[in-house]
Amino acid sequence: MTGFEDRSLYQQARRLIKYVYDIEDRFPEEDRISLHRPMRDQALEIGARIAAGFSCLGDSISSLLPQENRRDVLSRLGEVRHWVLTAETLHHLDAERVAEFEEIHDAMREQLSDSERPDHAA
């Protein structure tokens, strides 16, 4: 079995984290704490929950992300989406940057729903 870092879902989480860090400079200083920080915190936690979920499987041949982790990741992904859409409403993000996020978001949601089935390791 491969480690969590080789999983496609974890790779998407890393892509999300990079996206969130890349857009930080688009926020005015006064919105970095109230808007960007919660987005960043949730994105970082998504990667951690995926890693924890796959790591807790140990040597199991199962490749499923545990349901508790899957629900938590979906919830946090929804929160990041809220912050991205809020940033768009406030004109901190343009449609192109939002579309980039939506691509990551949709890929992760699809993989999370697919995690009911055998793995999409890489």
Q: Please report the pLDDT score of residue 57 as a whole number.
A: 62
CA distances from 114 to 23, 58, 118 (A): 29, 20, 8
Amino acid at 79: E
- The pLDDT assigned to 64 comes to 66
CA 35 to the chain's CA centroid: 16
CA dist., res. 14 & res. 46, Å (int): 9
Pick the more confident residue, 118 or 33.
Answer: 33
Q: Which two tokens stand for residue 112?
A: 């999370």
Mean pLDDT of 42-54: 91
The rounded distance, in Å, linking the Cα atoms of 14 and 108 is: 11
What's domain 4-114's architecture?
Up-down Bundle (1.20)
pLDDT of residue 39: 96
Q: How confident is the model at residue 68 (pLDDT cuts 50, 70, 90)?
A: confident
Tell me how far apart the alpha carbons of residues 37 and 17 are, in angstroms, rounded to a whole number.
Answer: 12
One-letter amino acid at 32 equals: R
